[in-house]
Amino acid sequence: MVVNICDALLEVLSTHANEHSLPVIAGLFQNIGNKSIVYMHKILLKLAEFMTKASGDVKKHVQECIGCAVIVMKPEKVHEFIPISVDPDELTYSNTWLIPIYRDHVVLSSLGFFIRTIVPLSESFMEACKKGSLKTYKFLTLIYHHHGIIKFCFSFLQVEENSEIRKQFESHARGCLGLLPAFCRYPTDVCESFGSLADHMIKWLKKDVFMIEYVGIALQYLVKGNKGLPFLSGEELFKDWGIEYGKKVEMENMKAMLPWLEEFLKAFIQVFFQLSPEKPPAFVKDTIRCLTLAIKSSKVKVIFRWSLKNVSVDEGRPSNLILELASLFVEATGVDSDDIIYNSIEECLKEGVEDGDAYAALYKILVESSDFRSSKFKQVMDLLLGLKPPKDITSLRWRFLCFKILLVRSMEIFHAGKNIYGIRMLYEIIVRPQDKKSKKVAAEILVETSTIFKKESSPSKPGNYQVFISMIMLLLFWSPYHGKAPSHVKADAVSALSLLVSDDPQICLLMPDVVPSILGLLDKEDNIQVVIDVLGFIEALTVNLPVKYLYDFHADILGGILPWSYVSLHDIKSKVTMILEIMMQKCGPASLKSPVLEQYQDFVMNDFGVTITSPITISNFKHLSSLEGDDDDDDDDDDNNNNNNNNKKKNKKKKKNK
């Protein structure tokens, strides 16, 4: 009976192949099933003939009929009747129209068939492509040498046509490899063939970018098919056919695949960060999510930790990538993504790994998650403050960036004067760095942090900006690790304030006690480095503070620095001279009128006078010292008379002293 029906349909197909008869044939393939090999192979061959002739709707129906044959007969048998073939030597091929049909209809096939037949086909197509290129080059060279440029030009037009053929070979080669996902839809030989296929897939991931998506989708098919997960979008056809594994087969298949899945997960984590820095493609995220569901949660945590150590995370990369990756792990591990990240980071840092990515990951989550900043603040602070600063400059920068975010958060948690965590963080940034590179990074972070608080403040409501400066000033007198601040802590704190005053001299107006507090160190401190740093602060202040405000501080400045004008050690005297010179250049000689000058006549009139390089002359300075209240300028003759009188008085005093 079946034979008669098939013969009748074959006759109909020979005379009336149309949109009415072809769906009947497709239904017959589905009803007869794998016995179609026996009863319908002639119909299959007839359909293959139509593929080279039909067009439009009829061709679509023919493709559907052959697709149904592929589902029930399997590609192995279809290939026996209608083989895809290529001849690299003759540069010919046949039946490549089957490739898109296989792509849409292969299911319950064999991974082994793909490895043994389809992969070599792809290699043959690529070989033909390369041979075509080589033959073209030799052909053009021969024509040029024997027939000259004219014949060469005509031959080149022929080669252009051949180049299109080469493109077709390359397209078919990729098309064959693009069948990988199709052959991973419920394959029947996972236990026997997956290891061999995995070797191929890992190789493709490393060298063929176009294969990354194919490998990712193939892995999704394999995992979802063996975990009883929902079908992928667009795969309703196979759901309608009732295709699925039994529980026993699923367990055996997963057991065979598990040893490889961890390696694939690591590979796709690298792809996640490298393939697209702005936004990883959806298939990459889907693949990672799918693989995490197939691997034990304890292994997933280990792999996430591995990713923090081994996958490069640049500062310029979008900060949500780490969080996005963690969110893909959540379903597999059953814990919050923040916890996954933090636990992994904590383990990395406690091991003392000199790697910036753990600090970078922590910074990313601190930036992105306000809940994490709140709930984990104390835990993160205790972790970071308990670690030695990394020697690697990149790691150190990420560490300081973490402190920047945590400093801002500490201001929200603690009241002024009770922010011990904040002071300890400032100590780490200001005092801990020892070499030039680390000090430079610390300076950058300190200014960035200051800028954050400055933007939040206003003249009427300075708020946290003022608290921030006060915390740094506290280091002038107290250390969180020593009690009373040692000299080196004072020196570093003064240097930090110098840096901030250079960036924003208005600090001294916002907090009038800053300048007197620092100048006070000159009276109490005998450590030469502190003195040098205080003079550096005063120099930064005089250079950057507007003239109209500098007048308010000149008496305090003169009173603080002039006692050190006789100390030549470490160029202290020259630093005092420089500060006075800056004040004279900005404010004029009148700005230096002070009773303090009377105590330092020798320095002011001799040492400073002869070393000054500004346009203001020594005569101006001597004239200033002899005036009692007149600020007006005298003419040159009066100046000379005054100078002579002063010199005479000075000589008389010297004689009396003798």
Quickly list DSSP for 443-510. Answer: HHHHHHHHHHHHHH-BTTB-THHHHHHHHHHHTTTEETTTEEPPHHHHHHHHHHHHHHHHH-TTHHHH
Rounded Cα distance between 588 and 470, Å, is 33
User: Which pair of structure tokens corresponds to residue 523?
Assistant: 């009276």
If you average pLDDT over residues 185-205, what whole number do you get? 94
What does the pLDDT look like over 566-579, one tens digit per residue?
777 778 888 888 88
If you average pLDDT over residues 616-622, what whole number do you get? 32
pLDDT over 60 at 628, yes or no: no
Give, for 483, the enclosing helix (H) or strand (E): strand 483-484
Residues found in the chain: 658
If you average pLDDT over residues 148-154, what whole number do you get? 46
For residues 326 and 337, the answer to whether their CB atoms sit within 8 Å is yes
> What pLDDT sits at residue 541?
94
Rounded Cα distance between 221 and 515, Å, is 70
Among the residue ranges 17-26, 142-151, 535-544, 631-640, the one predicted with the least confidence is 631-640
Among the residue ranges 117-131, 334-348, 640-654, the one predicted with the least confidence is 640-654
φ/ψ bin of 340: left (φ > 0), alpha (ψ from -120 to 50), beta (otherwise) = alpha
- Structure pTM? 0.62
Which residues make beta-bridge pairs with 350?
A: none
> What pLDDT sits at residue 656?
41
> What pLDDT sits at residue 162?
61
Dihedral angle over CA of 122, 128, 130, 135, nearest 10: 180
Burial classification of residue 484, based on how many CB atoms lie within 10 Å of its CB (0-12 exposed, 13-18 middle, 19 or more buried): exposed
Burial classification of residue 61, based on how many CB atoms lie within 10 Å of its CB (0-12 exposed, 13-18 middle, 19 or more buried): buried
Among the residue ranges 167-171, 193-197, 267-271, 314-318, the one predicted with the least confidence is 314-318
Q: How many degrees, rounded to 5, is the angle at CA 635 between CA 631 and CA 637?
A: 125
Q: Which amino acid is at 128?
A: A
> What pLDDT sits at residue 643?
46
> What pLDDT sits at residue 164?
77
If you average pLDDT over residues 495-510, what whole number do you get? 93
pLDDT over 90 at 329, yes or no: no
pLDDT over 90 at 215, yes or no: yes
What does the pLDDT look like over 423-466, one tens digit per residue?
999 999 999 998 999 999 999 999 999 999 998 876 655 688 99
Rounded Cα distance between 401 and 20, Å, is 70
Nearest Cα neighbor of 562 from 583, 577, 547 is: 577
Among the residue ranges 122-126, 409-413, 599-603, the one predicted with the least confidence is 599-603
Among the residue ranges 75-84, 369-378, 409-418, the one predicted with the least confidence is 409-418
> What pLDDT sits at residue 228?
76
The residue ranges of every structural domain in the chain are 1-82, 571-646
Nearest Cα neighbor of 558 from 603, 614, 527 is: 603
Residue 603 DSSP class: I
Q: Which amino acid is at 634?
A: D
> What pLDDT sits at residue 144?
45
For residues 322 and 361, the answer to whether their CB atoms sit within 8 Å is yes
What does the pLDDT look like over 75-114, one tens digit per residue?
999 999 999 999 888 888 999 999 999 999 999 999 999 9
> What pLDDT sits at residue 515?
94
Percentage of residues in the chain with pLDDT exceeding 70? Answer: 76
> What pLDDT sits at residue 631?
39
pLDDT over 80 at 324, yes or no: no
> What pLDDT sits at residue 243?
67
Greater model confidence, 135 or 96: 96
What does the pLDDT look like over 577-602, one tens digit per residue?
888 888 888 877 665 555 555 555 55
> What pLDDT sits at residue 642?
46
> What pLDDT sits at residue 155?
45
For residues 321 and 361, the answer to whether their CB atoms sit within 8 Å is no
If you average pLDDT over residues 628-648, what whole number do you get? 42
pLDDT over 80 at 258, yes or no: yes
Which residues make beta-bridge pairs with 87?
A: 92
What does the pLDDT look like over 331-373, one tens digit per residue?
666 656 677 778 878 877 887 655 677 888 888 888 878 888 8
Rounded Cα distance between 469 and 109, Å, is 72
> What pLDDT sits at residue 132?
58
> What pLDDT sits at residue 603?
57
Percentage of residues in the chain with pLDDT exceeding 90? Answer: 38
Nearest Cα neighbor of 215 from 167, 258, 271, 256 is: 271
b (16+ CB within 10 A) / e for 31-43: ebeeebbebbbeb
> What pLDDT sits at residue 96?
94
If you average pLDDT over residues 147-170, what whole number do you get? 59
Q: Which amino acid is at 492?
A: D
In sequence order, what E strands does 88-200 have?
92-94
Greater model confidence, 502 or 52: 502
Q: Which amino acid is at 174?
A: R
For residues 445 and 408, the answer to whether their CB atoms sit within 8 Å is no
For residues 514 and 473, the answer to whether their CB atoms sit within 8 Å is yes
What does the pLDDT look like over 18-66, one tens digit per residue?
788 888 988 998 888 888 888 898 999 999 988 877 777 888 889 999 9
Rounded Cα distance between 479 and 24, Å, is 90
CB atoms within 10 A of CB 297: 16
Rounded Cα distance between 589 and 583, Å, is 8
